[in-house]
Structure 1
Amino acid sequence: MSKKIIFTSAAPAPIGPYSQAVMVGDTLYVSGQIPIDPATGALVNGTIEDEARQVMLNIGAILKEAGLDFTNVVKTGIFLKDMNNFAKVNEVYGQFFTDQYPARETVEVARLPKDVNVEISVIAVKD
């Protein structure tokens, strides 16, 4: 098994003992991303839409570093602090996909790292 660690300064550095992403063969596993601005290292404060957008931008930067983009994403996991934000997060999320949407689950959780409102992870496959 060939395993390659993917890292980019265009996304937040890991805050624990994990990688931003790991490429195994043609499959990329992207760790859950939270709304941290990689330029400042600060949490994005604002609306849930602002948070979701930053999460998706972080994911996009990691995908790009691996030579992929959102069209390569086959599976996502969305973790919400409050399921009442589902529609707002879904609207932002949908702006990053045009068709052939990935499989997905969305769950409400009791707490997320740094007490953020949303975290998203993805799996992508090279064409």
Structure 2
Amino acid sequence: MPKIPINPAGSAPPLAPYSAGVRAGNAVYVSGVLPIAADGQTVGIGDVRAQTRHVLQRIEAVIKAAGGTMADVAMNSIFLKDLNDYQAMNEVYAEFFPGDPPARFCIRADLVKSEFLVEIASVAHLT
């Protein structure tokens, strides 16, 4: 089964050698998405809601470029710099998964840059 890299328009420049996503069969694997704009600047410094919204919009762009929707997301791995941001992140997250939400986990982690408050990686299964 061939794997197809997915790098939709508007993707941030990668901080390392990776694709924004990869489709393999009906599965789409979305790399950990950080709050970075297409110009390389950090989005929403100090605002976990703005950063979460941007991250989920970028995940949505990868899933859409692969031929799916957010309803196809089966698993999310969520990394928060500060667990005190958990509720605020969840408020935005719920907007993107209003029906049957995917499986997920959320942990506190040091992220690549100090201004990053959230990172999310996803797996979708296209129908």
TM-score using structure 1 length: 0.93
The alpha-carbon deviation at position 2 of structure 1 amounts to: 1.6
Structure 2 contact 46–117 (Cα < 8 Å) conserved: no
Per-residue CA deviation, residues 30-54 of structure 1 (Å, 9 max, x unaligned), is 000011122x321012411111111
TM-score using structure 2 length: 0.93
Q: Which moved more, 1:4-13 or 1:22-31?
A: 4-13
Match in the other structure for 1:73: 73
1:20-31 pair list within 5 angstroms:
20-31=20-31
Match in the other structure for 1:43: 42
Percentage identity across paired residues of the two chains:
38
Q: Which runs of 5+ in 2 are unaligned?
A: none
Per-residue CA deviation, residues 44-67 of structure 1 (Å, 9 max, x unaligned), is 124111111111111111111111
Specify the SS of the correspondent of 1:114. Answer: coil
Q: Which moved more, 1:10-19 or 1:52-61?
A: 10-19
CA distance in 1, matches of 2:50, 2:98: 20
Q: Which runs of 5+ in 1 are unaligned?
A: none
Per-residue CA deviation, residues 2-23 of structure 1 (Å, 9 max, x unaligned), is 2111111222132111111111
Specify the SS of the correspondent of 1:32. Answer: strand
CA distance in 1, matches of 2:87, 2:62: 25
Match in the other structure for 2:99: 99
The alpha-carbon deviation at position 98 of structure 1 amounts to: 1.8
Q: CA RMSD in A?
A: 1.1
Structure 1 contact 10–62 (Cα < 8 Å) conserved: no
Could you list the structure 1 runs, at least 4 aligned residues long, displaced by more than 2 angstroms after superposition. Answer: none
